[in-house]
Amino acid sequence: MRRALELAARGRATGPNPRVGCVLLDADGTVSAEGFHAGAGTPHAEVAALTALAGPETGLTAVVTLEPCSHTGRTPPCTQALLAAGVARVVVAADDPNPQAAGGAAVLRAAGVDVETGLLAAESGALNERWTAAVRRGRPWVTWKWASTLDGRSAAADGSSRWITSAAARADVHRLRAAHDAVLVGTGTALADDPALTVRADGTEVAGEQPLRVVLGHRELPPHARLRDARAPLRQLRTHDPHEALAALAAEEVRTVLLEGGPTVAAAFWRAGLVDEVVCYLAPALLGAGPLAVGDLGVTGMPDIARLALRDVVRVGDDVRLTARPLPPVAPGAGDPTTTHPAVHQEASSVHRDR
């Protein structure tokens, strides 16, 4: 199963489908074939492994990181492929949370296949954490990214903002973009900055599919806007409602969204409870005046303070990247969440520093 998880990790981290790996064992427990899912429209891991077999075999065991699908989508059901190949036993790490595809284990058992589930389920869940959350919630996973000076400014008093962070941090942002299905900004940012919102390396667009560029708001983009070019698809959602925006993206099977700003739009997502992770690039610099990087979060006093669980601290060039996740609200009188919430203690050991 650990080998199957390694194979799954080779799959595409973005797109509508999860990452899945499969190892086929012969009747003696020897590996006969391997496979993984490379992305939507390509063979699923089980079919890829079966195709890699040198020839027909009996008594096969399929070790799969996710429950084999039982429905016809872009490809036929994996359960039928396993049955047609005469697989005798299937070992599954995690159940499929997608109601459209779940039920494969039951189908296989009904056909007389020996099925075991739950082996390294936590590891499989971690591999597809954002995809699983998106499927279960019916909306994309949202990562809020921003960059600021030590005094929390996103630009100088005259509005100039290039560049607050180092070249290394900006390159890291492009890797972050590449890990998401869509990049979202408001019309204010789109009109003021004329961003491209593409994934680039050394100033040049990387090869392959680019994230969907999403603009939230009613104002029209000018015809010459860089967001209108052919380098990546564009979707303008003419609404200010974050729930409505994510519902529209979910309908297009967008699983992950990188929220890049500006502060007003980002704060609206936060107030709506729709931010799953925060990534902040903090530059060792001071401006003393200028626009704040974060807008009004609805906090009026210390009892309402927005607490986050720190998951990762990494030095990137001369800057620091902090990754954190919102903590659930603490009931009045429950104590200081920074010392009492279990998530804080759980994550403390994962924080590391690049020296």
Token pair recorded at residue 103? 């039920």
Token pair recorded at residue 6? 């390694």
- Cβ neighbours for 328, distance < 8 A, ≥ 6 positions apart: none
Which three-class secondary structure string do you get for 326-352?
ECCCCCCCCCCHHHHCHHHHHHHCCCC
Could you tell me whether strands 141-149 and 277-283 are parallel, antiparallel, or unpaired per DSSP bridges? parallel
Among candidate residues 298, 307, 302, 299, the one with its CA nearest the CA of residue 337? 307
CB 43 within 8 Å of CB 30 = no
Token pair recorded at residue 198? 């593409």
Active-site residue flag, 46 = yes
Q: What is the torsion angle, in degrees rounded to the nearest 10, for the CA atoms of residue 343, residue 336, residue 148 and residue 214? A: 50
Report the alpha-carbon distance of residue 237 to residue 218 in Å, rounded. Answer: 8
Report the alpha-carbon distance of residue 300 to residue 304 in Å, rounded. Answer: 7
Reported as type and span, the H/E element at residue 115 is strand 114-117
Token pair recorded at residue 325? 């996740």
Neighbour count for residue 51 (Cβ, 10 Å): 11
Q: Point out the catalytic residue in the list 6, 34, 46, 260.
A: 46
Report the alpha-carbon distance of residue 265 to residue 288 in Å, rounded. Answer: 23
Say which residue the tokens 């789109």 belong to.
190
Residues belonging to the active site? 46
